[in-house]
Amino acid sequence: MKILFKSLVLLLFFNLSLFAKINYKTELIVSNLGVIWGMDFLDENRLILTQKDGKVFVLNLKTKALQKIKNIPKVYYQGQGGLLDIKVSPNYKSDSWIYFTYSKNINNQGLTTLSRAKLKNNSFINQQDLLITKSNTSTSRHFGSRIAFDNKGHLFFSVGDRGVRKTAQNLLNHSGTIIRLNLDGSIPKDNPFINNKNALDEIYSYGHRNPQGMFFDKEKTFYSQ
């Protein structure tokens, strides 16, 4: 145990010594925004970001100009619900799609929803809800949600257990799951529960509490937390 501890200390010291040789500079780009949930690059100079209360902005990193985007779907902005993650399509240069998740108001309950739209003249157009999840509960907690892509034409997004833990073990709803879809919203034929009548075809992984961090390692494997 002592040897392991000393090794960890030495490794940490070595890593810090490497970073100590690098000079960092911090610069304020924008301020006075609300709760920023997701962001992604449209190109090397423009960043698109979501605000939890239902607003989308494009930030020009060169000019620092902030442009509000119009025609955003109305979100269920209650508790932890609202406008959530946003990711540019891996084929953005050719298909122009921007994917985002939000809590959609259905009968005064929020359901984590995957949607996509295109950006034109500072407005969302061709907006499509690709999947309104079966994740309704009476709480306003644990909606997830993050989006990730692999390199095989699939999209993953996370849904929280909606504040009711046992639902994450029920494969007949989407609560507490990682969902895997094709980029057009259709279901991949090799999803793990595709032939299981006691499970929803969209589910890729289940038993999660509230995944709000997710990354797909295209070289090795898939991670969420």
Q: Which tens digit of pLDDT belongs to each residue from 18-62?
A: 555 677 788 888 888 889 999 999 999 999 999 999 999 999 999
Q: Which tens digit of pLDDT belongs to each residue from 73-95?
A: 999 999 999 999 999 999 999 99
Does 119 map to a domain? yes
Does 12 map to a domain? no
Find the domain containing 164 and state its range: 34-224
Distance CA(73)–CA(76), nearest Å, equals 10
Distance CA(144)–CA(161), nearest Å, equals 8
Average confidence score pLDDT of the chain: 90
Instruction: Examine the pLDDT at 10 and tell me if it is beyond 50.
Output: no
Does 98 map to a domain? yes
Other C-beta atoms closer than 10 Å to the C-beta of 124 total 19
Beta strands, E only, 97-217: 98-106, 109-120, 123-132, 147-149, 154-159, 177-182, 203-206, 214-216
Distances (CA, A) of 116 to 6, 73, 193: 50, 11, 25
pLDDT category of residue 187 using cuts at 50, 70 and 90: very high
Tell me what pLDDT residue 209 has. 96
Does 26 map to a domain? no
183: nearest Cα among 104, 97, 103:
97
Instruction: Examine the pLDDT at 101 and tell me if it is beyond 50.
Output: yes
CA pseudo-torsion sign 185, 82, 65, 46: negative
Least confident of 20-24, 182-186, 216-220: 20-24
Q: Which tens digit of pLDDT belongs to each residue from 137-175?
A: 999 999 999 999 998 999 999 999 999 999 999 999 999
pTM for this structure? Answer: 0.87
Q: What is the CATH number of the domain that holds 75?
A: 2.120.10.30
Of all helices (H) and strands (E), which one includes residue 121?
Answer: none
